[in-house]
Amino acid sequence: MDRISVQSFGTLRDGREAHLFTLRNAKGTELNVTDFGGHVQALRTADCLGHLVDVVLGYGDIATYEAEDKFIGALIGRCGNRIARGRISIDGKNYQLDCNDGKNHLHGGFSGFNKRLWEAKPAADGLHLFYVSPDGEGNYPGKLSVQVLYDLTDDNELVIRYEAVSTADTICNLTNHTYFNLAGFSSGPVVKQKIQLFADAWTEADAESLPNGRIVSVEGTPMDLREPTAIGAHIDDDFSQLRFAGGYDHNWVVRDVPCKEYPETGLRKMVWAMAPATGITLTAYTTLPGVQFYAGNYLDGRPLGKNGTAFTKRCGFCLEAQYFPNAPANPEFLQPLLRKGDVWRAETVYAFGVTNK
């Protein structure tokens, strides 16, 4: 059996054909990725009884991916998360980006990478996706050439590696927006699933989910998820940050501590999660400084997902490795600045396992 197979995934509005690639490993785990938007469409891994469970939200046809606005499973760029009023400045030159989230820029704007057909090349080390974003696309400066690798290892790791180079100084902050539900994509809300964030602080945000520059300790707040905690345990607490976002939708500062699992790689452990119903665990690592834990507060059941499933409020959670949101407006944050000719690199690993609960 080939490790990577491909099938047609339908025709886009402009007549181009999209494809769905299936990666398989020696344990029988399967990952589906489409070349339209680099969406992770399915991920089937064994539960504690040995049954395969699809643990990511997704859609069954390309037309729905073209129409949807929840970024479900999407490859995000040029800049993940929010930028206040879409304004960036590079060496004193100002640029006005798309404002596609009210008054602000979100996930690359109207020309985001999630709505682009990527060139796909299966290889021995995984599925390579390529896209060249023209100079000025979304009003970003520079022609940005991007390569993203999706790999599914025999250790049940989903590995995502990013590389990008620009012809001009620009902003780059690539990430992935997969929604996980470790009890199965059609199992309903994730509030009983457990989450642990390897972070001692978060970036305080305003009512528009824009960080204001303050990095705040989690101590004594509902943002303290340093020990395994049911997602629903404090999500509706009377706490201003949670009221603003309708629950968890914030950036945590990943501890800058090397992890023993991937020595000398720059990877840091960011999240552990587990579903009691299946025993499936997820441990995530990244080279990036932050992680947006989003608990699906704004999922509204539209459009329908795989098998006609309605993805309603809190039916999935996202773990978006990233530079801190709204960094251009907060110079004290690490900046997602990519200089002309330099190579932007990042890696995130989602490792799956099982526990007896």
DSSP 229-259: EETTSSTTSS-HHHHHHTS-EEEEEE---B-
Q: What is the CA radius of gyration of the chain?
A: 19
Quick one: pLDDT at residue 357? 60
On whether the CB atoms of residues 37 and 115 are closer than 8 A, the answer is yes
Residue percentage of the chain with pLDDT more than 90: 99
The active-site residue, picked from 68, 157, 204, 320, is: 320
Q: Is the pLDDT of residue 1 over 50?
A: no
Residue 9 has pLDDT above 80, yes or no: yes
Is residue 320 annotated as part of the catalytic site, yes or no? yes
**CA dist., res. 213 & res. 222, Å (int):** 20
pLDDT digits (tens, 9 = 90+) for 64-96: 999 999 999 999 999 999 999 999 999 999 999
Show the domain range for 341: 4-354
Which pLDDT belongs to residue 356?
Answer: 78
Helices (H), 40-168: 62-67
Q: Which of 39, 105, 107, 177 is catalytic?
A: 177
The number of distinct structural domains making up the chain is 1
Long-range contacts of 104-107 (CB under 8 A, 24+ apart): 104/208, 104/210, 105/79, 106/81, 106/82, 107/71, 107/74, 107/76, 107/79, 107/80, 107/81, 107/177
339-356 per-position pLDDT tens digit = 999 999 999 999 999 997
pLDDT higher than threshold 70 for residue 247: yes
- Count Cα atoms within 13 angstroms, Cβ side, for 329: 18
**For residue 190, what are the β-bridge partners?**
none
**Does residue 144 come out as left (phi exceeding 0), alpha (psi in the -120 to 50 range) or beta?**
beta
pLDDT digits (tens, 9 = 90+) for 200-241: 999 999 999 999 999 999 999 999 999 999 999 999 999 999
CATH number of the domain residue 152 falls in:
2.70.98.10
pLDDT in tens, 90-126: 999 999 999 999 999 999 999 899 999 999 999 999 9
Any catalytic annotation for residue 177? yes
Rounded CA separation 182/341 (Å): 40
**Over 70: is that where the pLDDT of 266 sits?**
yes
pTM of the model: 0.97
